[in-house]
Amino acid sequence: MTLKKTPLHGRHQALEARLVDFAGFEMPVLYKGILEEHAAVRNEVGVFDVSHMGEMTVKGPQALEFLEYLVPNNVSRLDTYQVLYTCMCYPDGGTVDDLLIYKMLDHYLLVINAGNTDKDVEWIQQQAANFDVEAKNVGAEFSQLALQGPKADEVLSKIVDTDLASLKYFWSQEVELFGEKVLVSRTGYTGENGFEIYGSPEFGVKLWDVLMDAGVHPIGLGARDSLRFEACLSLYGHELERDISPVEAGLGWTVKDKPNNYIAKDILLEQKQNPPRHLIGLKMLDPGVARQGYPVIHGGQEIGFITSGMKAPALDSFLALALVNQDVEVGATVQVEIRGAHKQMECIKMPFYKRS
C-alpha cells in the first residue's frame, strides 16, 4: 500500500525524522527523541504537523438540526467561531469517534481523527441523508499545524499581526497571514497552552519554515501521545472505541439532556445515571509497565483493563489509565497482570499533569 503524505513530508525528511505508517500516512514519530520533544512542549514551545487530520464542512438549511442529532453535546449553544468538543455514537452508545465542531460564518467545520476519516465521512454522510444539508469531505484542502507550549503565544504574536493573547479556550479566529485568510483556534491536545492553525497546503509549508526559523521545536507523534497521556486526554482506539461510550471514557460532560432526539440518547443518559464502567488513573508500585489490554485485578477479581500505559516523562513515573467496572478509591491498591505476574498499582487522581 502506498502511504499518503502531508504537504510537509519533505520538511520531515529534511529534518531526518523517523517516519512511520500512521493512519495510512507516512508521519514523523520523532525527530531527535520523544523525551526531548516532550520536554520542549512542557517547557518551551513545539509544533506538530497534524495535516493528516480529517476535515468536513456541514452547511445547508438544516445544518444545526443535523448536528444536534449527530452528537450528544449541545451544538446550538455555539456562537460564531466557538469550538465544541464532542463524540459521535452508534445507536448502542459505542463511540464512532471524537471530534471538534467549529461554528463558522455560514457553515460548520468538523475536525475528525486521521485513523477514522474514511469511516467518519461515511457515517456522517449516511446520517445526513435524512436532512437538508451538504456534508463534504474537504480534508485535502487543508494543512493543520499545532503550536503547543508555554511560549506559544509569544511565538505566534511575532508572526500574526493580530492580538491572539485574548483568544479564549475553545474559540477560533480568522486572520490574514502570508496573504491568505487562515483559521486559528485555541484547543490543544497536550495539556499545554497553544494554537491550531488551519490553512491551505502551501500555507502550512510556509508557516512551518517560519516556525523553524524562529527556533520552535518540531514534535513527532511519539511525544504527542505521551503529552496527551499525562493530561489524561482520550485517544480513539484506547479510551474511546466501538464498544466504549463517551460516558465510560469520562466524557459524560459531553452528553447533554437536550430537548431534541439524538443518536443513542436514552442509552447515554441512562449511563450517566448508572455508568457500567469508568476510567481510573493508576501508578505502578512494582517494577513494570502496564500496557494497553492488560487485565486489572481487585479483590481477586478481574475488574477491567488498561487502556493506555507508559512512563510519564514530566512526572518520572510509570502510569496508566484503566477502564473498570467497580468503584476504586484514590489511594486504593489494585493489581495489573503483566506476563502472568500480578504487579501492584495505586489508584491516583486524574489528570496526571495539569499546567500551572
CATH fit for domain 54-131, picks 3.40.50.300, 3.30.70.1400, 3.40.50.1370, 3.40.50.1970 = 3.30.70.1400
At 1 the pLDDT is 76
Task: Note if the bond before 259 is cis, omega within 30 degrees.
Answer: no
CA distances from 127 to 44, 78, 144 (A): 43, 21, 27
Q: How far apart are CA 164 and CA 173, in angstroms?
A: 8
Topology alike, domains 9-51+142-230 and 277-348: no
Of the candidates 42, 74, 70, the residue with the CA atom closest to the CA atom of residue 56: 70
Of the candidates 223, 334, 239, 245, the residue with the CA atom closest to the CA atom of residue 293: 239
Q: How far apart are CA 229 and CA 308, in angstroms?
A: 8
At 161 the pLDDT is 85
| DSSP for residue 211 | H
In tens digits, what is the pLDDT along the chain, a chain of 356 residues? 799 999 999 999 999 999 999 999 999 999 999 999 999 999 999 999 999 999 999 999 999 999 999 999 999 999 999 999 999 999 999 999 999 999 999 999 999 999 999 999 999 999 999 999 999 999 999 999 999 999 999 999 999 988 898 999 999 999 999 999 999 999 999 999 999 999 999 999 999 999 999 999 999 999 999 999 999 999 999 999 999 999 999 999 999 999 999 999 999 999 999 999 999 999 999 999 999 999 999 999 999 999 999 999 999 999 999 999 999 999 999 999 999 999 999 999 999 999 87
At 240 the pLDDT is 98
277-348: CATH number: 2.40.30.110
Q: How far apart are CA 195 and CA 164, in angstroms?
A: 10
At 165 the pLDDT is 86
* Sequence ranges of the domains in the chain: 9-51+142-230, 54-131, 277-348
Give percent helix, percent strand, percent coil of the chain, each to the nearest 5: 25, 35, 40
Residue with cell 468536513: 56
> Which residues fall within 8 angstroms of residue 96, CB to CB, at 6 or more apart?
87, 88, 89, 90, 116, 119, 120, 123
116 and 97 in contact (C-beta within 8 Å)?
A: yes
At 162 the pLDDT is 84
C-alpha cell at 341: 505476574
At 68 the pLDDT is 98
Q: How far apart are CA 306 and CA 280, in angstroms?
A: 9
Beta bridge partners of 56: 110, 137
Strands 46-49 and 217-219: parallel
DSSP E strand boundaries for 260-355: 278-284, 295-298, 301-312, 317-324, 333-338, 341-348
| DSSP-derived 3-state class of residue 258 | coil
CA triplet 339, 340, 346: central angle to 5 degrees? 85
Q: 9-51+142-230 falls under which CATH superfamily?
A: Probable tRNA modification gtpase trme; domain 1 (3.30.1360.120)
Backbone angles phi, psi at 353, to 5 degrees: -125, 135
